[in-house]
Amino acid sequence: MIDQKVFTVEKLTELLRAALADPSGLTKRAEAAKSAGILDAAERLADIVVGLVRSKG
């Protein structure tokens, strides 16, 4: 997370360059993000919305 007070183009560029210079770190962060997410979240949300619409109709 980047505090909005320090979020500038320069800061973002610095962080992206550092991340891209560390492929193993990128891989670790990608794996962590994948394990924290719900792979079918969009489908689940769509099912809920469709169910709600059908119950109201």
* pLDDT tens-place string over residues 15-49: 999 999 999 999 999 999 989 989 899 999 999 99
Instruction: Give the separation between CA 26 and CA 33, rounded to whole angstroms.
Output: 10
Question: For position 27, what pLDDT does the model report?
Answer: 96
Task: Specify whether the CB–CB gap between 19 and 13 falls below 8 A.
Answer: no
Contacts of 38 (CB under 8 A, 6+ apart): 44
Cα radius of gyration (the chain) = 19
Question: For position 1, what pLDDT does the model report?
Answer: 83
Question: For position 52, what pLDDT does the model report?
Answer: 95
Instruction: Give the separation between CA 54 and CA 57, rounded to whole angstroms.
Output: 5
